[in-house]
Amino acid sequence: MLEDGKEFEKKGRYDGISNIPCTPSDIYAVKPIGVVQSCFQEKFATPRQPGLVKDSQAKITLFSEYMPEHSLSGLAGFTHIWAIGWMHLNTNKNFRPKIHPPRLQGKKMGVFATRSPHRPNPIAISVAKIEKIEGNSIYVSGLDFINGTPILDIKPYLRLCDCIPDAKDGWVEENAFPQLTVEFSPQAKEDLEAINRHGLKELIEETLSSDPRNRRDSSQMGDRHDMGFFIDSYDVHFAIENGKAVVLRIEEGKQFVKKFRRDKR
Amino acid sequence: MLEDGKEFEKKGRYDGISNIPCTPSDIYAVKPIGVVQSCFQEKFATPRQPGLVKDSQAKITLFSEYMPEHSLSGLAGFTHIWAIGWMHLNTNKNFRPKIHPPRLQGKKMGVFATRSPHRPNPIAISVAKIEKIEGNSIYVSGLDFINGTPILDIKPYLRLCDCIPDAKDGWVEENAFPQLTVEFSPQAKEDLEAINRHGLKELIEETLSSDPRNRRDSSQMGDRHDMGFFIDSYDVHFAIENGKAVVLRIEEGKQFVKKFRRDKR
């Protein structure tokens, strides 16, 4: 019924709105209801969308204040949830209306036409598959949240209204992530064998195949530059060589420390 | 890799989390980036899920601070958006871990297994179809937000990751909303003809067919009780008669005033 925007405004609807206290200087308070434990330890190499690294596992633990034994009851009948997260590592101070999505390799896009974390309110929505629910915890796969992400809400995924099979994905549809072939060096193969952790190889492959570098990384850290990222407590080192991602070595039992690790050798 | 929750915790991941300042007493600040104008004026009769009333129209207007001419660029290539809204009419003071979903007619459900607005953080996510984007405004259909809802974020709907065709909807799947047949009284038919507003009849039908009454309404306001709700500035009166919703009359040019209107005659 709003087909004619002018008519809509003429009818005094803006008057209705001015009665409602909503101005750009308003602030609302949100609080974490729980926290994520995830295999991804830092922004670098955390998947850019949910489901990209299907083998990734995470655990969402609710604070006892939210009485998970009652508030989660009935959730196990669903296969998927929406996790609403607070992107706590977002360091943006000023609003930028356009950003450089990694898919576009230099071109800019309006921030509200992207799922970039660099937004006015660092709220993330991510669909994840429920693996199991146990006590105060939801075990999920496919979540693209960094370890320690505060959780603001959990909602069941409703296929009924959330799944739109004929939706068109705009610029994303025509700009798939560049897929990298992933290879393991002899050292990395040895490390994998020594670590002997089920699924680690697949997790590294899925993570690297989407090329975790952003545009600046790609230009500054070109071929054969030693780059690292953490999967759980495994410090995975790789380099790009002739357009392939080569895993150099995997160091075990490391503690992730936040610093500009990519320059470390 | 977290299949064994115990092993996960043994590996010191909780230590990692304790380094990150996330406790139940934390508070984060969010701010509105814009506001919704919607045909729905009050909680009563606002659809309980997006897409239920497909003909409903809404307009999301961004504040000029967020430079919509740049920040919305590229969004028109998508067919759908996620609107992240602040459910400003939520009056819950205390957390209740279980709520009564309208579909369950008396039975309780854990709040995180529902899309109820009565949540610790009154954040709503709603998918809506983009009708057009003009200047600082996104015109959408199917949105289940009340007029004046502050908007915290707009994200493009990505079929690629947001559409899960084989998801199972748990208890919702087995508890469809009771569908009401909607009839118009001779007076209501006259009113519709006099108003002559394209799509109004369909909008009223879609809204009433899901039975807007909650459980308390249903018991307190039984057959032939005159109830009203607003669609834009139309005050729609109806009653339930023998399990059918009968539209009694439609009053034009009214201003919605927040009060317990359902008792008004």
Check pLDDT > 50 for residue A14: no
* Closest chain A CA to residue B197: A1
Inter-chain residue contact A121 with B27, CB threshold 8 Å: no
The tally of CA atoms less than 13 A away on the side-chain side of residue A111 is 21
**pLDDT tens-digit map of A178-221:** 788 999 999 999 999 999 988 899 989 988 888 888 777 777 77
Q: What is the mean pLDDT of residues A137-155?
A: 93
**Least CB–CB distance from A163: residue in B22, B112, B164:** B164
pLDDT the model gives residue B53: 74
Among A58, A52, A100, which residue's Cα sits nearest to residue A210?
A52
Quick check: A78 and B37 CB within 8 A? no
Q: What percent of chain A has pLDDT over 90?
A: 52
Whether A75 has a pLDDT exceeding 50, the answer reads yes
3-state helix, strand, coil in chain B (%, to 5): 25, 30, 45
Measured between beta carbons, the chain B residues lying within 8 angstroms of A161 are 49-52, 127
User: At the topology level of CATH, where does A181-263 sit?
Assistant: YaeB-like fold (3.30.2310)
Q: Residue A18: its pLDDT value, please? A: 41
- Burial tier of B251 (Cβ tally within 10 Å: 0-12, 13-18, 19+): middle
User: Could you tell me the fold of the domain covering B34-172?
Assistant: Elongation Factor Tu (Ef-tu); domain 3 (2.40.30)
CATH number of the structural domain B181-254: 3.30.2310.20
Q: What is the pLDDT along chain B (265 residues), one digit of tens a residue?
A: 333 334 333 333 333 344 456 889 999 999 999 999 988 887 777 777 766 777 788 999 999 999 999 999 999 999 999 999 999 888 777 899 999 888 887 899 999 999 999 999 999 999 999 999 999 999 999 898 989 999 999 999 999 999 999 999 999 988 877 788 999 999 999 999 999 988 899 989 988 888 888 777 777 767 778 888 888 888 999 998 888 999 999 998 777 665 544 444 3
Measure the CA–CA gap between B247 and B227, rounded to whole angstroms: 10
pLDDT tier at A51, thresholds 50, 70, 90: low
Which value does ipTM take for this structure? 0.84
Pick the residue from chain A with its C-alpha nearest to B257: A16
Flag the least confident range among A132-136, A157-161, A235-239, B52-56: B52-56
For B117, nearest residue in chain A (alpha carbons): A155
CATH class of A34-171: mainly beta
Instruction: Report pLDDT for A122.
Output: 95
- Indicate the residue of A1, A109, A134 with minimum beta-carbon distance to B74: A109
Residue A169 has pLDDT above 90, yes or no: yes
The three state secondary structure string of B163-215 is CCCCCCEHHHHCCCCCCCEEEECHHHHHHHHHHCCCCHHHHHHHHHHCCCCCH
Shortest CA gap A68–chain B (Å): 8
CA distance A37 to chain B (A): 7
Residue among B25, B121, B162 minimizing CB distance to A152: B121
Which pLDDT belongs to residue A47?
76
More confident residue, A36 or B216: A36
Q: How many CB pairs under 8 A join A and B?
A: 359
For residue A17, pLDDT over 50 is answered with no
What is the arrangement of strands in the sheet containing B234-241, beginning at the earlier edge strand? B181-184, B244-251, B234-241, B227-231
A166: chain B residues, CB-CB within 8 Å? 79
A6 — pLDDT class (breaks 50, 70, 90):
very low
The model's pLDDT over A83-112, given as tens digits with 9 standing for 90+, comes to 999 998 887 778 999 998 888 878 999 999
pLDDT at A168: 95
pLDDT for res A213:
82
Domain boundaries, chain B: 34-172, 181-254
Most confident listed range (A58-62, A231-235, B51-55, B211-215):
A58-62
pTM: 0.85
Percent of chain A at pLDDT above 70?
86
User: Confidence band (pLDDT; 50, 70, 90) for A175?
Assistant: confident
pLDDT at A46: 79
Nearest to A153 among B121, B152, B171 (CB): B121
B110/A74 Cβ within 8 A: yes
